[in-house]
Amino acid sequence: MESAPAVIVAIDGPSGTGKSSTSKAVAAQLGLSYLDTGAQYRAITWWMVTNGIDIADPSAIAAAAGKPEIISGTDPNAPTISVDGTDVAVPIRTQEVTSKVSAVSAVPEVRARITELQRSYAASAEKGIVVEGRDIGTTVLPDADLKVFLTASPEARAARRSGELKGSDVHATREALIKRDAADSSRKTSPLAKADDAVEVDTTELTLQQVIECVVTLVEEKRAGK
Ligand code: DC
């Protein structure tokens, strides 16, 4: 039997839509690689903070953008992320990094560097890859075989995020999330946006399992040439 050709799946959307859980599960179920591009932006932000770069100064961020070496492990069952050989999976999820990542990821030199890295991962994935982010379908991989844009109401997104960050205040989470989405959607270089040819899936009333099944079906339909 001939093996299926590599399939490239782009999954975009704001935070709290179940993007990471869905992307990992779809990749695992279909035997594809998985790339968390938000983790890469968080990793470069962590490096900037750790190295004392002034986050309020885009030219300082731009000048340093090429320095850190970011490596993503693309096994959906055990994704990893390291910067200059240090495992940063835990520190990139701190409140400090989360509050600064939009400013760092808005700098064009940062986006150019990380976009190039993402394209090289997609090109080298033998069986194909699920890439999740904000600008994958519009900018990073405009020729992806399937583009999915996940949405959900702000209330549902805040409730999911608060559940992940156990014990956090839903109201504060909702405000922080709306602020970050607004920054990510309004930046000049490759903002969070739905590609014209993306399939939009509103996850507000769906369970995670239903969203996974929906995306797996979409990939299978693409593979079958429907
Ligand atoms: O998915 P996440 O919350 O871990 O992403 C963190 C931040 O990274 C998000 O606020 C915006 C930025 N990001 C981006 O600009 N482009 C991407 N493709 C992915 C994430």
Going by alpha carbons, the residue nearest to atom 10 of ligand 1 is 102
Ligand 1 neighbourhood includes 92 CB (under 6 angstroms): no
Report the Cα–Cα distance between both ends of the chain, in Å, rounded.
21
Q: How do 86-87 and 80-83 pair as beta strands?
A: antiparallel
**177, amino acid identity:** L
**Encoding tokens for residue 147?**
């583009």
- CA-nearest of 48, 67, 47, 66 to 57 is 48
Going by alpha carbons, the residue nearest to atom 16 of ligand 1 is 134
**Encoding tokens for residue 197?**
């040819």
pLDDT in 10s for each residue of the chain, 226 residues: 556 679 999 999 998 899 999 999 999 999 999 999 999 999 999 999 999 999 999 999 999 999 999 999 999 999 999 999 999 999 999 999 999 999 999 999 999 999 999 999 999 999 999 999 999 999 999 999 999 999 999 889 988 877 776 667 788 888 888 898 899 999 999 999 999 999 999 999 999 999 999 999 999 999 888 6
Q: Name the pTM for this structure.
A: 0.94
Distance 49 CA to ligand 1 centre (A): 17
Ligand 1 neighbourhood includes 100 CB (under 6 angstroms): no
CA atoms lying within 13 Å on the CB side of residue 10: 30
Ligand 1 neighbourhood includes 15 CB (under 6 angstroms): yes
Q: Which residues contact 133 (CB under 8 A, 6 or more apart)?
A: 10, 11, 12, 37, 38, 118, 140
**Encoding tokens for residue 185?**
């959607």
Q: How many CB atoms lie within 10 A of CB 153?
A: 14
To test the pocket of ligand 1, the residue of 40, 107, 134, 141 to mutate (highest count of ligand atoms within 8 Å of its CB) is 134
Tell me what pLDDT residue 167 has.
Answer: 63
Tell me what pLDDT residue 161 has.
Answer: 79
Tell me what pLDDT residue 165 has.
Answer: 66
Going by alpha carbons, the residue nearest to atom 15 of ligand 1 is 105
Q: Which residues contact 199 (CB under 8 A, 6 or more apart)?
A: 146, 147, 148, 149, 218
Tell me what pLDDT residue 1 has.
Answer: 52
Ligand 1 neighbourhood includes 23 CB (under 6 angstroms): no
Tell me what pLDDT residue 3 has.
Answer: 65
Ligand 1 neighbourhood includes 180 CB (under 6 angstroms): yes
Tell me what pLDDT residue 149 has.
Answer: 98
Distance 211 CA to ligand 1 centre (A): 20
- How many whole angstroms from its chain centre is CA 38? 4
Tell me what pLDDT residue 127 has.
Answer: 93
Going by alpha carbons, the residue nearest to atom 2 of ligand 1 is 38
Tell me what pLDDT residue 171 has.
Answer: 84
- How many whole angstroms from its chain centre is CA 121? 14
Collapsing DSSP to helix, strand or coil, 36 comes out as: strand
Backbone angles phi, psi at 55, to 5 degrees: -65, -20
Q: How many residues are recorded in the chain?
A: 226
Q: Which CATH number fits domain 7-218: 3.40.50.300, 3.30.200.20, 3.30.1490.20, 3.40.1190.20?
A: 3.40.50.300
Q: What is the DSSP letter of 93?
A: G
Collapsing DSSP to helix, strand or coil, 200 comes out as: strand
Tell me what pLDDT residue 2 has.
Answer: 58
Ligand 1 neighbourhood includes 192 CB (under 6 angstroms): no
